[in-house]
Structure 1
Amino acid sequence: MSSEPTSTTEEPHSTSEPTPPKTLKEYALRDPSAAICCVARLTVIVFTLSTVIPIFVSVITSYKVALQASLIVFSTRLAERRRRQQVSFFSRQFLTFMFAEDSGHYLFYCGFYYQYYPTPFILIPLVIYAVIQSSKYLYNAREFLSLGIQSFVIATYQKVAASQDSLYRFVAASEIFLMIIVFLNTTLFGGGLLAPFFHYFFLKWRYSSSRNKYVKLVFYELRMTAQMLTQRPSCPVFIRNITTRIIDSLSYLAPTEQPQTTQQ
């Protein structure tokens, strides 16, 4: 009986690992989409600052450029997630997929508020996400940066990483309180009539997100804080009644929890 000869030697190319990048360009070309997102996020940061201190261009232009850069980021991330989960673009499942994805939420967010009156508060969630993700990318690429920039990147990354949970909570709080700003802008200054309705649905998507717990967590903390303050004897009765009605109304409007089924 004959058997196939087995070789104990391995060919070099079968176990060889990719050559480590030697320059920032080579590092970026390893993952072009991540590099594009990093550049877009840095653009968001620069032009968000420009809406507060308009050095380069006008506030309106800075606002729109920041949203355009954010659209690039979230559309790229959504496309990556779609390919990873093998969701067909021309299918009913794709729409469900978009409403379930955090990137899909913010894709709608940027698209809707692009035509809205320039409000720097709208850019707060976008710029915080940009700082968190760009600092992580630049930290991983720090060896290809100059010493001065490298020190700044390391210090920024360490501060962001240490306070990341607080930053995500702040993003969630800004998403929630933006509803109040949008409502006041609509009722007092004649802002877009559709804005409060859109932001309500946006908050429903964020509240129901399976990957982002912070909106639900901040809502719960705000509710507990309000109830604790109104239960004090010094709190006027009419304020307690108004607060209770607001909490009951928000609880009624909140998405219902879907029971989780276990697959066997």
Structure 2
Amino acid sequence: MADNADTSGQSARGVGAALSHLTHNKTEAALLLTRALTLFFTVAYLVPVFGVSSAAAYQKALMASAATSALRLHQRLPAFRLSRDFLALLVVEDSAHYLLFALLFATNAPLTLALLPIALFAFLHFCAQSLALVDRCGQRGAMGGALSSVVESYQRSILQTVALTEIMLMPAVVFAVLSGVVSIVAPFLYYRFVALRYASRRNPYSRQMFHELRLSVQHLLYRPLCPQMVRNAGLSAIGLVERLAPPVASN
């Protein structure tokens, strides 16, 4: 009985420490909430059983993601000032890229694939934040082990999937324009987003996925069974993509 009381007291102190951390770090608490909302509304869009319409769930998932990006910018950037230096800092921030992403897709008709990158990012960072809180409680247990596995073992796979989805969304946006689903300016804005992701200083996965896709397509094009017309068209497309790629600053 005494052992159980001691364990309960330690758990309470641990939970209290985690709650105190969130109370004194309101931005971290807000990020945990916006990421949870992104995941909830993404699931509500895909599985409409929560009493939320699909269109509303789609918009709210993107707005929650936009709020996450805005909070991250608040953490990482100095106080706003209208200057060239501040804008230069803003443009290279990954959170600014995803703020543009969320606003772009939130102002157009639903495109299901657009929810995958923001949901995966929200899931990964929600797990990382939750793991930090579990560690602060001092008792990992099975939940802590599962969160640690996601953060440490699956992070690379999740980021690669995000990067691949970002690339695949480009032709999807173009087809959506031809179908009259999104506005004519959407492909130009989305190309700017992809260019920013390609040039990202903190996240190399977009460049890696472009490289791997190029190698895979070239491997198919140079197979003996590939018709010459298809090979020429494919190589021309690869050349166009390479010319459109932005320069990448060396670190």
What band does the TM-score fall into relative to the shorter chain?
0.7 to 0.9
8 Å Cα contact 1:208-1:255 kept in structure 2? yes
Please list every run of 5 or more consecutive structure 2 residues that lacks an aligned counterpart in the other structure.
1-12
Q: Which moved more, 1:244-253 or 1:29-38?
A: 29-38
Decide whether aligned partners of structure 1 residues 153 and 45 sit closer, same or farther in structure 2, where only a CA change above 3 A counts.
Answer: farther
Please list every run of 5 or more consecutive structure 1 residues that lacks an aligned counterpart in the other structure.
1-18
Opposite residue 68 of structure 2, the aligned amino acid is V
- Structure 1 segment 225-244 matched on structure 2, within 5 A: 225-244=216-235
Instruction: Identify the structure with bigger relative contact order (alpha carbons < 8 Å, sequence gap 6+).
Output: 2
Deviation at 1:186, TM superposition (A): 0.5
Opposite residue 105 of structure 1, the aligned amino acid is H
Alignment of 1:179 onto 2:170:
yes
Q: Which residue of 1 aligns with 2:65?
A: 70
Decide whether aligned partners of structure 1 residues 92 and 196 sit closer, same or farther in structure 2, where only a CA change above 3 A counts.
Answer: same
Rounded to whole Å, the distance in 2 between the matches of 1:113 and 1:25 is: 34
- What's the TM-score, normalizing by structure 2? 0.87
Flag as ranges the 4+ runs of structure 1 deviating above 3 A: 149-154, 257-260
Q: What secondary structure sits across from 1:193 in the alignment?
A: coil
Alignment of 1:34 onto 2:28:
yes
Q: Which structure has the larger Rg over C-alpha atoms?
A: 1
8 Å Cα contact 1:117-1:191 kept in structure 2? yes
Decide whether aligned partners of structure 1 residues 243 and 48 sit closer, same or farther in structure 2, where only a CA change above 3 A counts.
Answer: same
Rounded to whole Å, the distance in 1 between the matches of 2:55 and 2:70 is: 22
Rounded to whole Å, the distance in 2 between the matches of 1:92 and 1:143 is: 41
Describe the superposition over 1:126-184 as per-residue Cα deviations: whole angstroms up to 9, x where unpaired: 11111111101111212688x9x963454144134201111101100000000111000
Q: What secondary structure sits across from 2:16 in the alignment?
A: coil
Q: Which residue of 1 aligns with 2:3?
A: none
Aligned counterpart for 1:51 among listed residues 38, 45, 56: 45
Opposite residue 159 of structure 1, the aligned amino acid is V
8 Å Cα contact 2:66-2:103 kept in structure 1? yes
Aligned counterpart for 1:189 among listed residues 165, 180, 193: 180
- Structure 1 segment 242-253 matched on structure 2, within 5 A: 242-253=233-244
Opposite residue 231 of structure 1, the aligned amino acid is Y
Percent identical: 29
Rounded to whole Å, the distance in 2 between the matches of 1:58 and 1:193 is: 26
Decide whether aligned partners of structure 1 residues 50 and 259 sit closer, same or farther in structure 2, where only a CA change above 3 A counts.
Answer: closer
Q: What secondary structure sits across from 1:235 in the alignment?
A: coil
What is the CA RMSD across the aligned residues, in angstroms? 2.2
Q: What secondary structure sits across from 1:22 in the alignment?
A: helix
Aligned counterpart for 2:120 among listed residues 119, 128, 139: 128
Q: Which residue of 2 aligns with 1:15?
A: none
Matched residue count: 237
Q: Which residue of 2 aligns with 1:111?
A: 103
Rounded to whole Å, the distance in 1 between the matches of 2:186 and 2:84 is: 26
Decide whether aligned partners of structure 1 residues 61 and 153 sit closer, same or farther in structure 2, where only a CA change above 3 A counts.
Answer: farther
Opposite residue 87 of structure 2, the aligned amino acid is L
Is the helix fraction higher in 1 or 2?
2
Deviation at 1:234, TM superposition (A): 1.3
